[in-house]
C-alpha cells in the first residue's frame, strides 16, 4: 500500500522499480505489478509483488541471511542502508518478543522473496523522494486474530505493537489487521530519520494505495500527501524561560555558559528586568530541540537558582545554510552561507575576524567570502 500510494503520487518513479529487483539479485524470483484500481469509492493504484516460478515457498529466512543478501547486492548505498534498517527494526522487535538474539531471528512471512522485494522497493522510493519531514495521523487499531507461522496471534500483531510503541492509535470499529509489521517498520523508520511535524504547506500531489483486503463501509487505502518545500524550512523547537533576581551576575554568567554547552541547546538569551520589590534581575530564554528539553531543564535547575521553568513549543522557519572552510595563502577561513530569496549570502565567523591582523589577511578573508558565495569553498 505504501508503494502504491507513493507511485500514485510520483508516477515517474514506477519504471525505476524493476531495475532495483535486478540489482538486488533476484529478477526471476519475483514479478512486480502496478495497476489502476477503483474500489467503488476512490481511485488510485494497487501494487503487487508475486513470487516467481523459481522462488521457494514461504519458508523461514534468517535475519543474517537477509543482511548478507542486501550487503552483497548491487543496490545503491542509500537504498541498501534503508532496507537493512527496516529489516533491523522488525528483527529487534521479533527478538524481544521471542527472547532471542537479533541475528538468531528467523523471518517467516517477512522473509519470503515477495516481502523482501516489498521492502527494497519501499526503501528505494524513500531514498528517491527527498523527504525532509513527515506527519501522520493516528493509526487504526483493528482487532481479532491473524494466522501466522507461530499460530494465531492477536491484532495488532505483537511485533507491530512493539515497533509502534508510543504512537497514537484509534479504534474505528473495523476489525482485522490494519497495520502489518512491515508497514509499522516503514513508519518507524520515517519517524526516526525525518522530522515529524503536523504542519501543512503548498500541496504538490496526493496518492492512494489500496490493499488486497476489503472492509465493510470503508476503503482499505493509504493516502499520501506531498507538500512542496519552500525557501525556508520549518520545524518545532522548545522555549524554556525563567527569571532570576537572587544570583550574582558572575555566577549566573558561568551558569548560562554551562547551559549553553548542554547538548540540544540552540541559543541562550538574557534580558535585564525590574522584578518584584524593585529588584534588578534577568529574564532567561533558552531555545532547544524538543528531544533535549528534559536534559536542558535539569541543567537550568543545576546551574541557576530558579525554582520553576516555563515551557512552550513554537514553529521556526530556517533558510538553507551551511558552514564551509576556504583556504587562501595557507590560512583557513570559516564562512557561513545562506540561501535567501534574493540569492546566496555569506559572512565570516567572528573568531576569524578577531584574529585578522593585517590588511592582507583582511583582503584574503573578503576573498574567502566571495569564494563561498560562488561555491568554490572546501567544505567541512
What distance in Å separates the CA atoms of residue 73 and residue 80, rounded to the nearest whole number?
A: 8
Q: Is the pLDDT of residue 58 over 60?
A: no
Nearest to 277 by CA among 243, 238, 309: 243
Tens of pLDDT, residues 59-88: 567 788 888 889 999 999 999 999 999 999
C-alpha cell at 95: 527478538
Q: To 5 degrees, how large is the angle CA 330–CA 331–CA 332?
A: 125
Tens of pLDDT, residues 153-201: 888 888 899 999 989 999 988 888 899 999 999 999 999 888 776 555 6
- Domain residue extents for the chain: 2-228, 233-319, 321-379
Can you give the pLDDT at residue 124? 95
Tens of pLDDT, residues 106-141: 665 554 677 888 999 999 999 998 888 888 989 999
Q: Is the pLDDT of residue 221 over 90?
A: yes
- 285 CA to centre of own chain: 28
- Measured in degrees and rounded to the nearest 5, phi and psi for residue 288 equal -150, 165
| CATH code for residues 233-319 | 3.30.70.1380
Query: Average pLDDT, whole number, for the chain?
Result: 85
Tens of pLDDT, residues 289-300: 988 999 999 999
For residue 177, the cross-strand partners are none
Starting at the edge strand found earlier in the chain, the sheet holding 265-274 runs 265-274, 280-288, 232-244, 310-319
Nearest to 4 by CA among 219, 148, 304: 219
Tens of pLDDT, residues 264-289: 999 999 999 998 888 899 999 999 99
Nearest to 119 by CA among 79, 162, 62: 79
Tens of pLDDT, residues 321-346: 777 777 777 777 777 888 887 777 87
Amino acid at each position: 500500500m505504501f508503494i502504491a500510494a507513493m507511485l500514485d503520487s510520483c508516477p515517474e518513479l514506477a519504471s525505476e522499480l524493476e531495475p532495483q529487483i535486478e540489482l538486488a539479485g533476484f529478477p526471476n524470483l519475483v514479478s512486480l505489478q502496478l495497476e489502476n484500481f477503483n474500489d467503488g469509492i476512490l481511485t488510485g493504484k494497487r501494487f503487487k509483488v508475486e513470487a516467481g516460478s523459481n522462488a521457494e515457498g514461504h519458508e523461514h529466512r534468517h535475519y543474517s541471511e537477509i543482511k548478507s543478501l542486501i550487503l552483497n547486492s548491487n543496490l545503491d548505498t542509500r537504498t541498501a542502508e534503508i532496507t537493512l534498517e527496516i529489516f533491523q527494526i522488525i528483527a529487534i522487535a521479533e527478538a524481544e518478543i521471542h527472547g532471542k538474539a537479533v541475528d538468531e531471528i528467523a523471518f517467516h512471512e517477512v522473509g519470503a522473496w515477495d516481502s523482501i522485494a516489498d521492502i527494497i522497493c519501499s526503501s528505494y522510493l524513500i531514498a528517491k523522494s527527498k523527504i525532509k519531514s513527515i506527519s501522520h495521523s493516528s493509526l487504526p487499531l483493528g482487532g481479532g486474530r491473524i494466522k501466522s507461522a507461530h499460530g494465531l496471534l492477536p491484532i495488532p500483531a505483537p511485533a507491530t505493537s512493539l515497533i509502534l510503541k508510543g504512537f497514537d492509535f484509534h479504534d474505528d470499529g473495523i476489525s482485522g489487521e490494519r497495520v502489518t509489521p512491515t508497514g509499522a517498520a516503514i513508519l518507524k523508520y520515517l519517524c526516526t530519520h525525518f522530522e515529524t511535524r503536523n504542519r501543512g504547506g503548498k500541496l504538490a500531489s496526493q496518492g492512494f494505495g489500496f490493499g488486497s483486503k476489503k472492509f465493510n463501509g470503508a476503503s482499505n487505502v493509504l493516502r499520501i500527501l506531498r507538500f512542496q518545500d519552500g525557501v525556508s524550512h520549518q520545524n518545532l523547537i522548545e522555549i524554556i524561560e525563567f527569571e532570576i533576581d537572587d544570583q550574582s551576575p558572575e555566577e549566573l554568567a558561568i551558569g548560562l555558559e554551562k547551559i549553553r554547552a548542554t547538548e540540544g541547546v540552540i541559543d541562550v538569551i538574557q534580558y535585564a528586568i525590574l522584578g518584584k520589590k524593585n529588584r534588578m534581575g534577568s529574564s532567561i530564554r533558552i531555545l532547544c530541540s524538543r528531544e533535549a528539553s528534559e536534559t536542558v531543564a535539569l541543567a537550568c535547575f543545576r546551574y541557576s537558582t530558579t525554582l520553576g521553568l516555563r515551557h512552550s513549543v513554537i514553529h521556526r522557519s530556517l533558510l538553507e545554510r551551511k558552514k564551509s572552510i576556504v583556504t587562501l595563502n595557507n590560512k583557513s577561513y570559516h564562512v557561513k552561507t545562506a540561501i535567501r530569496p534574493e540569492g546566496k549570502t555569506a559572512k565570516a565567523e567572528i573568531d576569524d575576524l578577531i584574529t585578522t591582523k593585517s590588511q592582507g589577511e583582511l583582503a584574503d578573508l573578503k576573498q574567502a567570502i566571495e569564494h563561498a558565495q560562488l561555491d568554490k569553498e572546501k567544505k567541512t
